[in-house]
Copies of this chain bind each other. A is one copy, B any other.
Amino acid sequence: MLGVWRLQLLREISRRGSIKAAAEAMSITPSAVSQQLAILEREAGVELLEKSGRRVRLTDAAQLLVRHADTITGAIAAAEADLASMQQLVIGTLRVAAFPTAARAILPSVMTALSRQHPALRVTLRDLEAAESLTALQMDEIDLAIVDEYDEPARVSDGGLEFCEFMRDPLYLALPPEESSTPSPALRASPVAGAAVRLSDYRDSFWIMDTEDSHLGQVTLRACRSSGFEPHVRSNCKDFSVIIALVEAGLGVGMLPGLAIHDRPVRASIHPTEPPLARRIASVIRPERRSHPMIVSALAELERFGAAYAQPRLS
């Protein structure tokens, strides 16, 4: 019979593209992987690897086996999840990845709540952009990914992952504080704090934008254009704290997601837009772990955070 361990090694080679990388991922030596695959080839009766330069390439038969290895591994994981859910035991290590803003604004409270509820649970956190965390999830390097989505749910190549939107994060327009000398060319009365504003009212302001290749940058740009103007971009900054600082200094206006100013005092005037803009925040898991109590608890906690966050609160 085909050895499951060997199949998992093959799977890892397929994921990571080289024997060395697979070996590192499974924390054994490349030599061991090479030997195990030689055995698997005997078991299967087919060539599985062919040399391609100084690397290896998977044959068709190997790719077939990788697909099967995925379902086999999934079935084992499902058994473990069922077992854990039967015992209602929330123990072990939950590996979470979140995009940076979420890692700062959401995860601290969620992690403390989780470890208060389940003292035996260890939660580790990495901050990864959405796309990175999805591949990490597929690589089985993390158990739970928190991603942001700006456009409509694309999820074409979701690779069998399970998405669950647990909150929406409104996008706000940040205006320089009242007292600051606004360098905006147009003089205007500042709107009432917290009142919705139209982007087109700031067609003549300088704009502090996220980087062009970021989702938020593109969404902002598109929103300005569909409001009928091309923004005067004064600077492109990746880090929201920098954007906040520039707006606070009165150097322009900028779009900020709510989480970026959540639980953080900001000396700027924050306004929802009309029409409202928002990004969706979703949890992503591997479906076979859906019933794992560790996952169930974490998702519940995220839902709770999302519900609390939905209460309007403007600084």
Contact = CB atoms under 8 A, between A and B. Distances in A.
A38 interface: no
B69 A72 contact: no
Contact of A2 (B44, B45, B80, B87): B80
B83 A7 contact: no
Contacts of A44: 83
Interface string A1-12: 110100100000
Ranked nearest first, the 6 interchain pairs of A and B with the lowest CB-CB distance are A68-B79, A72-B75, A4-B4, A71-B75, A75-B75, A44-B83
Interface in A3-30: 4, 7
Q: State the majority secondary structure of interface residues on A.
A: helix
Interface residues of A, number: 25
A65 to B, nearest CB: 6
Contacts of A87: 45-46, 61
A76 B45 contact: no
A68 B75 contact: yes
This chain: copies in complex: 2
A78 interface: yes
Interface string A57-81: 0001100110011011001101110
Contacts of A86: 46, 60-61, 64
A167 B82 CA distance: 43
A5 to B, nearest CB: 9
Contacts of A2: 76, 79-80, 83
Contact of A83 (B65, B75, B83): B65
Contacts of A65: 79, 83
Interface centre among A7, A44, A65, A68 (most CB of B within 10 A): A68
